[in-house]
Amino acid sequence: MILPCHKNLCLKIVPYLITRLTKVANALTISDLPVRFTMSVKSRLPEFLEKCERERDRVVDFWLQNSHDTEHGGFYVCLDRDGKVYDDTKYCWLQGRQVWMYCRLYNEVEKYDRQDVLQAAIAGGEFLMKHVRDPATMKCSFAVTRDGRTVKVQRQPFSEVFYFLGLSELYRATGEAKYREEALKMMDQLVHWMTVDDSGLGRPKWPGAPATDNMAVPMMLMCMIDQLEMMDPALTNKYAGLAERCVEQLLLHIQRDGTVILEQVSPDGQELPGCLGRLQNPGHAIECSWFLLQYAVRHNRPDLKKTAINNFLLQPFESGWDDKHGGLFYFLDVDGYSPTQLEWNMKLWWPHNEALIAFLVAYKETKDEQMLEKFAKVFDYSFSHFVDPDHGEWYGYLSQQGEVTQRFKGGPFKGCFHVPRCLHMCTQILRELVTT
């Protein structure tokens, strides 16, 4: 028998418990449940495909609607949450990235085989050629004013890399020889800077600075060689030896008996002292994994395929994933010290983009369901934290707890590249998996 006082208490508590349990149930995804209670994650492939394609189109539409400078050419990149321009400075590596992205979509996706997409890409390419490259030095500005006057030049080759990538893909889209010639000229210059003499970049040599091998350099070279071969298959053999040397350089970053990937090592593959030598960037290693994996598949290298997955993908993912809050840490110190980068524990958009690509490529090539399960883990985190359902595009910067810290969708380091590239590649791979 329930006493009257207890009955009243139950009438209050039971609805509350039902409400709370319903919220918890709604928040759960398949990846939260024990494996023994779930269907195979392969059953989610149609869901992944539908959501990636839909989100790709929302993201691309955000840039098509908000970023075009129809007066001066090129693209606004500093866009607030709703697409409003909050600064008209044009960051040039992002100009090249957006040209590349528009052209890649135009070249590969029927719904983007449209004149508005192509003309926007051409306007961006012409802006690059007219305002960004210094004809005397081949250096590209890092940032310019809205009408193309130089604001800043970096001593790194990133603007030049994406100048090449953008114009080479623009040649694929248009067939216009001037874009091919400009791309090839920049490619040759970049190879010289990265492999022969980097003095043209303007970086001084200080007596106390150790010689380093930065993982970004061979990664960028591999990316450029792959792009060059797509632009003109007749050039496939031009840099074949260089591509293999890039692979060898990247393998030097496997340290401590294969247990870690370090961002920088000495040129002969030794660990560097101090914070610089202990630095890990999980997202960068994961991005490198799918570069290496694709190379291994093209060149029938099962040994490299295994290394790409085990050392460059799984190990950095497991050590970089935040078990408490979810998401990938930005930086880590291999010995567990606090990284000196103040943003080390933030969750940034692009490492998650790279992880989505990498695990899907790995699953496609191995059919190992573990890869698809980890893809689902990153997918669920990314789509529940980075996506803006109201205005499109993804937020770029989250706290460790997963809260949005910067509301803008574009800025000096985030533009129309990582998110749409990821969603485009995932859509292509998922469609192949679903239909075969």
* Chain segment 322-354, per-residue pLDDT in tens: 999 999 999 999 999 999 999 999 999 999 999
List pLDDT tens digits, range 123-149: 999 999 999 999 999 999 999 999 999
Would the CATH topology of 43-67+253-436 be identical to that of 73-199? yes
The per-residue DSSP string of 127-187 comes to HIIIIIB-TTT--B-SEE-TTS-EEE--SSSHHHHHHHHHHHHHHHHH--HHHHHHHHHHH
Of 25-39, 71-85, 157-171, 401-415, give the lowest mean pLDDT range.
Answer: 25-39
Q: pLDDT band for position 425 (50/70/90)? A: very high
Cβ pair 46, 434 in contact under 8 A: yes
Cα separation, 355 vs 341, whole angstroms: 22
147 closest CA partner among 222, 88, 225, 193: 88
- Per-residue pLDDT for 22 more than 90? no
The percent of residues above 70 in pLDDT, for the chain, comes to 91
CATH class of 43-67+253-436: mainly alpha
Domain boundaries, the chain: 43-67+253-436, 73-199
State the average pLDDT for the chain: 92
Query: What pLDDT digit, counting tens, does each position of 403-414 carry?
Result: 999 999 999 999
Asked whether 103 and 164 are in contact (CB, 8 A), the reply is no
Q: Look up the CATH number of domain 73-199.
A: 1.50.10.20
